[in-house]
Amino acid sequence: MTGLLIQGLINGLILGAIYGLIGVGLNVVFGVLRVVNFAHGEFLVLGAYFAFYLMEYAGINPLVALPLAFAAFFLAGYLLYFVLIPRLSKADDPEISSLLLMFGVSIMLGALMLLAFDADARSLPYEIEPVFLKFGPVLIPTVRLLALAIALAIIAALTVFLYRTQLGRALRAIIMNRDAVRIVGINVERLSAVAFGLGVGLAAASGVLVAMVFPAFSPFMGNDYTLIGFIVIVLGGLGHPVGALVGALLFGVTEQVSVVFFSPSIATICGFALMVATIFIRPSGLFGRQALR
């Protein structure tokens, strides 16, 4: 039993790190743009397909595919920003409008994937030697450890970017006060496009990791991942990448430990219930400084 419990805990941490990456991507977009990227999950699944086809047709290793996916999707996101977002600022209620707009985008992407790739679930046939690593009584698939390391590395890189580079600091400034930044003379539109591109790129990167770690993916799993991303944001608090990570780890552990004791659907319920409870008890999240509005 303890062995299973430890296994659950470790799985929780690993999955949590990946969830954290998903949440961080959403966080950047929501924080900087106040845009609810409801299509985040679909970009994630597209990233998974990207890695899949690179491996299938070019024999490219997902570890190489990941930075490629990030770059390609960053560019796509940057351009997509200008098509979609600037009009929203004229709406009566930009937040809700963005939610509905991205919801439409998510449906379109899901349908496009369905048309392009069929409804069959795919898996990424990535093998590593040795397949398992043994730590005491616990067996962990090496791929998962690798994914954990990569996820943590990306989050760390992002934190450095946000706190140590000028561009990153400008983004954080926008999160805090959009109008003030405009007055200071920074080109908010371009920066916002960068943020959007960043969010979409991170989504795709998470998708590659998801393809590595989970047994299968299919066009309509996007919704579930978007929801996970939001749960992570709520738990960790807005605008705080480390907070998102901690929230995600908490969520991941709760979910995986529940799986040990109960069924998968109950585990999901536990995870969601955790989020709902957090919203009511600590509306700004575990680390957030602004109360949710």
Residues 229-248, one symbol each (x = binds another protein by CB under 8 A, - = not), give: -xx--x--------------
Q: Which stretch binds another protein (CB under 8 A): 137-145, 153-161, 202-210, 228-236?
A: 228-236
**Least gap, CB of 47 to another protein (angstroms):** 19
Q: What part of residues 35-64 is at the interface with another protein (CB under 8 A)?
A: 36
**Least gap, CB of 213 to another protein (angstroms):** 22
CA angle, 119 as apex, 114 and 124 as ends, to 5°? 100
User: Is residue 131 a contact point for another protein (CB under 8 A)?
Assistant: no
Of 91 and 156, nearer to another protein (C-beta) is 91
Q: Which stretch binds another protein (CB under 8 A): 59-67, 72-80, 198-206, 258-266?
A: 258-266
User: Is residue 121 a contact point for another protein (CB under 8 A)?
Assistant: no
User: Is residue 84 a contact point for another protein (CB under 8 A)?
Assistant: yes
Q: What part of residues 264-293 is at the interface with another protein (CB under 8 A)?
A: 265-266, 268-269, 272-273, 275-276, 279-280, 283, 292-293
Neighbouring CB atoms inside 10 A of 86's CB total 12
Cα 222 to chain center, whole Å?
11
User: Is residue 89 a contact point for another protein (CB under 8 A)?
Assistant: no
Determine the Cα–Cα distance for residues 213 and 222; give it in Å rounded to an integer: 16
User: Is residue 95 a contact point for another protein (CB under 8 A)?
Assistant: yes
Neighbouring CB atoms inside 10 A of 1's CB total 7
Out of 5, 114, 184, 216, the only residue in the binding site for another protein (CB under 8 A) is 114
Of 62 and 243, nearer to another protein (C-beta) is 243
Residues pairing with 140 in the sheet = 133
- Interaction site with another protein (CB under 8 A): 30, 36, 84, 87-88, 91-92, 95-97, 99-101, 103-112, 114-115, 223, 227, 230-231, 234, 263, 265-266, 268-269, 272-273, 275-276, 279-280, 283, 292-293
